[in-house]
Amino acid sequence: MMNSEQRGVAEKCLAGAESGAMDFPSIVGALIAAGFESYEVDFRREEAVYYLPSGDSVTLAIHRDANGIAATFDQDAIRAAIREAQANAPDYSYPGFCAKVKRAGCVGYIVSFPGRRAVYLGRTAEAHVEHFPGAD
């Protein structure tokens, strides 16, 4: 069963991503330390869901923006946005990253900590699998 401390960690990580106060490795570390095994971001519903191994979850609203989701899945543009994030480019921001992948037709993504990967999904179930840097 999820406790209030775990919910607080999920809230802190989402706020940290959106404000730029936390980078992806810090977020992953904090969520793993709190017992989470994965999370997903759904741009259509504008929410993030954080999952414990038991199946318990917490759903949080993500930032809203006026950017729609493109109809066509552009895997190259999604890869480019991911590379920019991994390089921590000077103008990188998580809201900016979200806008870029949405323009590339990404409806959402799933991050698996045990799988050490993120899967970006398109409208017709196209997928791009991105392994964590250094993952086999």
Q: Which pLDDT score, from 0 to 100, does residue 127 have?
A: 97
Q: Which pLDDT score, from 0 to 100, does residue 66 have?
A: 83
Q: pLDDT tens digit string along 37-94?
A: 999 999 999 999 999 999 999 999 998 888 899 999 999 999 999 999 988 888 899 9
pLDDT higher than threshold 70 for residue 32? yes
Q: Is 53 a domain residue?
A: yes
pLDDT higher than threshold 80 for residue 135? no
Count helices and strands in the chain by DSSP H and E runs:
4, 6
Give the model's confidence band at 136: pLDDT under 50 very low, under 70 low, under 90 confident, else very high: low
The amino acid that residue 88 corresponds to is N
**What percent of the chain has a predicted confidence (pLDDT) above 70?**
99
Number of domains in the chain: 1
Q: Is 62 a domain residue?
A: yes
Q: CA gyration radius for the chain?
A: 14
Helix H or strand E segment including 128: strand 127-131
SS3 for 109? strand
Q: Which pLDDT score, from 0 to 100, does residue 65 have?
A: 82
Q: Is 27 a domain residue?
A: yes
- Residue 73, both tokens: 């899945």
- pTM for this model (two decimals): 0.93
Q: Is 98 a domain residue?
A: yes
Q: Is 97 a domain residue?
A: yes
The CATH number for 99's domain is 3.30.1810.10
pLDDT higher than threshold 60 for residue 116? yes
Q: Is 47 a domain residue?
A: yes
Q: Crossing angle, helix 94-103 and helix 4-19, to 10 degrees?
A: 80
Q: Is 136 a domain residue?
A: no
Q: Confirm if 40 and 108 have CB atoms less than 8 A apart.
A: yes
Query: Whole domain around residue 9: which residue ranges?
Result: 4-131
The chain-wide mean pLDDT, for the chain, equals 94
Strand partners of residue 87: none
pLDDT higher than threshold 80 for residue 115? yes
